[in-house]
Structure 1
Amino acid sequence: MSDKFPSSEPVAESPLPSAKLLLVDDEDNILRSLQRVLRKEPYELTTATSGDQAIGLMEEQGFDLVISDARMPGMDGPTLLATIKKKDPSCIRILLTGYADIDSTVKAINDGQIYRYISKPWNDDELRLIIRQALAFKQSERRRLALEKLTRKQNQELQELNSTLEQKVRARTEELRETADMLDLAYQELRKNYVTTTEVFSSLIDKRLPANRQPNAKVITLVRAFAAYHKLDEEMTQNLAMAAALYNLGKLSWPDELITAPSDLLSRDQKLEYLKYPVVGEQLLMALEPLRDAAKIIRHHQEKWNGYGIPDRLEGKDIPLGARILRLAVDFIELQFGLILERRVPRDNAIKLIKRYRDRLYDPDIADQFLEMVIEIAPDVDHENPDILVLDTLRLKPGMVMARNLYATSGMLLLNEGKVLSSLLIDKLAAFEKGEPDGHRYTLYVHRPEEETETPT
């Protein structure tokens, strides 16, 4: 069993067109260095040599992103960024700091709520990537706010129309109601919890692999089953599910030949890239506070019980519990998908391998619990439950609640666990199903309605 991984630039959205950047430092040579690094980027650059000058420029024209040095005479960087946050919360704030500026960095995070801090001396490519990601984040926030505004406006227009013209436009009302429902659905999707969001990203990560070698959905199902079987608390269950959805995030920028190659067959250079992927995955999630614990699980899910794993060579119970569980699920699924060894390993042989390495790669106690669940409770990963119905789309009824996520054949997440089905959703699901290739039919897992589980008196 190997533990390897890659680092590369992740795919980010295109930055804002003609983005305006303000560079603030009391040293001219630092400003010139920043301008040199960014001279080929599509940004409008403005410089300031003090906090007061930067505030004046902000009041005159406004900026999309500000990069400020931490230590400056007069107003320091953290104070400047905190002031900018109050004046323009939408402006992205980045702090340039030396390794010794811990107090300044903490102040900037607490008071200025900065997007990132960058240590000096910086890496030019990393600096450009961070700025592109920050501007792409701002662009997505603008789109989200615009959609919310549009939703409120159209809902208000619909209410006014219904109250004044209901009798005259009855035929038109049905069409508008459907539009309002769709906007409502879009609005609700924007506000979904982070667990669902990560599972959407998981389906995108899976699309880099062939359809028969996409592990993320199986890994998510397996860790959820383990959490339920051993009655882990809700917080741990959510963190495990998010980590299972995003554990491959650090591989997104790999070339196809690397991402599909079994880890035991990688060349020396490929192995060096492979060994980085848990840390890259953690770094990409660092700015998202709700994903902090999931990011820690991702960082350590390739550690080994005997202390010879990556990236920090943690040993035994120093490895976070979630990481110990995730490693078992990942190895069990990836062995069967041919992502670790040259050949696909049959399920029974995967169980034997985990038993063989239970006290070297894995926490032996958790490995025993995991195998007990896999063998006795979840023979095919998806364990049977008498309170869950397995239905096709023709037998769905409004009010039913999804017991598991539903994915299209393309890997796209269609319905998330816990979703309450409405007539509109069922109709739309049937329409999606008709468009699937080769007449593929959906299989849905829903909770048995309460009236069907009651014991007759």
Structure 2
Amino acid sequence: MEEPQSVEPGRRPCLLLVDDEESILNSLRRLLRGQPYDVVLADSGARALEILAQRPVDLVMSDARMPNMDGATLLARVREGYPGTRRILLTGYADVSTIINAVNQGQIHQYLSKPWNDEELLLILRQGLEQQQAERELKRLQQLVLEQNRQLKASNAGLEQRVASRTAELQQTADMLDLAYEELKHSYVTATEVFSLLANLRLPPDKQTNRKIIELVRAYCKAHGLDESASRDLAMAAALYNIGKLSWSDAMLVAPADLLRHTERERYRAYPEQSESVLMALEPMQDAARLILHHQERWDGSGFPRHLKGEAIPWGSRLLKLAVDFIELQCGLILERHMNSDEALLFIRKYAGRLYDPELVESFVRVCAAYLSDVTVDDPSVRVVGTRELQAGMVLRRNLNADNGMLLLNAGKVLSEPLVHKLIAFEAMEGAHYSVFVSVPEQVAALDVDR
């Protein structure tokens, strides 16, 4: 069955809500009361298909778990018979196989968990219908351009004024197409973020990096006034930079990169290319895919996959590497030890000019200090010292952990001479080197000056 390409002018969008639980349907109906939509309810997949055969429906939101016909199967049937209808999966189960089936078979546009957030649900419905309208308008305009081109070819070539007038109309239409295309690009950003959340279901919560990297990249773009196109490409690259890792085993996904064996290391070094190859078929994603391809290049040329060096590395890839490493260092995905945010920034500063663009490093650190409440690395009241520089009276500003993650001292601890000696001895016994974040009371600072 083919869905009509146009919609009657003035018709309110029609939403079809499908769930075998009457209480869920009643809750959704109450939430949507007063919204500018016609709402139709169905308690099964079969009933939903009957409704679709009887009237035009713009969006179907279905529960994942239903008897006889589950949500993934229903949405696949909707896609086959009514490809222009938006499809949203609603589930209370973290069932990866159901979600994968819905993505592969029904090609769902969105995914929501029960219990839902009312504002988020309303926003997703509104954005989905707006994107659908933009797609329909794009198709209408494409048909209009084709028809106008046909008429233009049939026109009398000698009527110069008529040709000039029609050319102006075509230019206006092209401008409208550009606007519609920009709207579709915005929709791609939302889609990539939704997909990154689905991909993160394979990871434990403390290893889920994408959302933090997206927010960090957006903070940098906002602080430096990057244009909308560059910001959009960076956000999409941050959302999907690790999509090439989805074929890895669960153990490899959570292992620190520096502990991978030889064969695993080869797979690790291939993931940027795999991520890029997945995305290159999507035209609006091509610029973001290029940033992903080169985000593991290093300033000194020792990175991968192309061994690019210095400014030959795309600027957005250099920024993405800073954001990825900053977050992954804290999640234990690069080194075995989990760093705090200040330690991660010290690591990045240490390798400026080797791993990272030295000019970009300092602007990145400033953004982290401004936007992240737990960063103290640029606080003039905080010093970072080794254990042999510690003095009695200094106050710890960050928790001090051993390399194996064991907590040694809590933030706020006032150091004494015996405690300093114990720290020095413990550090020597462990063969470690601790960076200690402290604040220095005035009397201790005065002693430094006297010396």
> TM-score by structure 1 length?
0.44
Structure with the larger RCO, 1 or 2 (CA within 8 Å, 6+ apart): 1
